[in-house]
Structure 1
């Protein structure tokens, strides 16, 4: 290589290194891995649903609210940190966590073995009963009766997994982006029934004439936990202590009663 070419190569390398350093400095530190990093950042960034009332919804100012939002506020206050709430959807909530867009999820994420392979779960802080809810005219009493019916579910949700596992061949499963879309599909007659939480079923009942829909059968009882990235052991202990303490002192129950008008279920 000639001296001229060597100088050009060296200059190119320095320029590349300079650009890399610039990008490193310019890229914001989106999420923390440890409690110390959270304290240094001064802010807790939490992903939560806003389409799953009353667990996740929006208030009159179009800001995130609901049981999950209140739990996140309680956790941030416990840590002495400013809270940044980031709306997520059912399908993108785990990707948001794993790509460092949020520090953790308080997003009605049900604990399942499949999800436990991707994220680390805290002790459960909430629970919900998932049911099959549909038209009173639909002769559905159990999973075998789903054959021939159009069943709606929110994509990538617990009910999606459960219905997919139990539905017999010949069931038409229609997947929607979120619970709100599945709910609208039921109300508009696009599907005969949907898998949803009892709270979503209650919301539907308020919007339609009496005796239009009914609970067909229980799909499962799901417990929901705070989700963190694998390896956040210190943060996991901190969150577990938070859940245990606020379960024992009744603070989580107060929030649950506030939003769901019933006592917080006993959880494993």
Structure 2
């Protein structure tokens, strides 16, 4: 009987500790909903012109500017953290970052894992080639090598719609790269004959080249996409606040001005009323 009496206080202490840990975990999960002081944005810091590092190390880009404008509306600080783009949803789920904001394409597959803000920008997957290769359509990639960024929406479409491009290219597979910059270097070196990527990135990258006429952009059978901000599904209050801020930035012309600054055209999405 005495032995049981000794165990009872220990059991009560164990329950108290576990309860405290559980409460702490719940508090951490809901911290963003409770207006966390600083929001951490995860991005691929090589993805021009959405979010990338200049030579001085500063992170700049369309999404960086938009995130800062949004944070001002929210009355919160924001910081940017470079991540492995292929692990972005895992980083979000683990709490390493609060937002995925870097030319992040909204898709049904991704909606299973994250909550999306309303879309704010138009995009499309295009084929980038060198003009001298005389590739003028997706069909012209038959038997040729294709480059893709690992974890990109282009990779998802490549796999989900094999009849559009996958069944045409050499070995019915693509060369995967950690970032588009490396993919473009291999394209120019002739190690691949095409790169499937975002129209926004392709247009900006080519405009920066000394001889942009060497490149060609071809559209194919992939439909248009939209960029949105990814966040944890439980961060419902944050989602509402961000959507409100995006609406205000759309209405006051901020998003359109940033689009002109970075893309030389207005790619803003007009939401249906």
Q: Same fold (TM over 0.5)?
A: yes
- Gap change, CA 1:249 and 1:211, over 3 Å in 2: closer
Give the conservation status (yes or no) of the 8 Å contact 2:121–2:226.
yes
Q: 2:237 aligns with which of 207, 221, 234?
A: 234
**1:145-191 deviation line (CA, Å, top 9, x unaligned):** 32201010111211112233222525131111121221222122211
Give the conservation status (yes or no) of the 8 Å contact 1:205–1:213.
no
Counterparts of 1:137 and 1:128, CA distance in 2: 26
Matches within 5 A, 1:153-168: 153-164=148-159, 165=161, 166-168=164-166
Matches within 5 A, 1:110-259: 110-164=105-159, 165=161, 166-172=164-170, 173-201=174-202, 202-204=204-206, 206-207=208-209, 209=211, 211-218=213-220, 219-259=222-262
Give the conservation status (yes or no) of the 8 Å contact 1:31–1:103.
no
Using the TM superposition, give the Cα deviation of residue 123 of structure 1 relative to its aligned residue in structure 2, in angstroms: 0.9
**Aligned length in residues:** 262
SS at match of 2:229: strand
Counterparts of 1:13 and 1:152, CA distance in 2: 59
Instruction: Report the more deviating stretch, 62-71 or 192-201.
Output: 192-201
- Gap change, CA 1:20 and 1:87, over 3 Å in 2: farther
Partner residue in 1 for 2:31: 32
Counterparts of 2:191 and 2:260, CA distance in 1: 33
- Gap change, CA 1:158 and 1:267, over 3 Å in 2: farther
Partner residue in 2 for 1:76: 71
Give the conservation status (yes or no) of the 8 Å contact 1:128–1:198.
yes
Partner residue in 2 for 1:86: 81
Return the TM-score normalized by structure 2: 0.81
Counterparts of 1:17 and 1:127, CA distance in 2: 51
Partner residue in 1 for 2:62: 67
Return the TM-score normalized by structure 1: 0.82
SS at match of 2:47: coil
Counterparts of 1:188 and 1:120, CA distance in 2: 40
Matches within 5 A, 1:4-43: 29=28, 32-34=31-33, 37-38=34-35, 41-43=36-38
**1:47-101 deviation line (CA, Å, top 9, x unaligned):** 2232111111123431321111111111211111121211234312222112111
Counterparts of 2:158 and 2:150, CA distance in 1: 11
SS at match of 1:107: coil
Larger strand proportion, structure 1 or 2? 1
SS at match of 1:207: coil
Structure 2: state its 5+ residue gaps.
none
**1:81-139 deviation line (CA, Å, top 9, x unaligned):** 12121123431222211211122222211111111111111111222233101122334
Using the TM superposition, give the Cα deviation of residue 12 of structure 1 relative to its aligned residue in structure 2, in angstroms: 11
Counterparts of 2:16 and 2:58, CA distance in 1: 42
Give the conservation status (yes or no) of the 8 Å contact 1:68–1:106.
yes
Counterparts of 1:261 and 1:207, CA distance in 2: 16
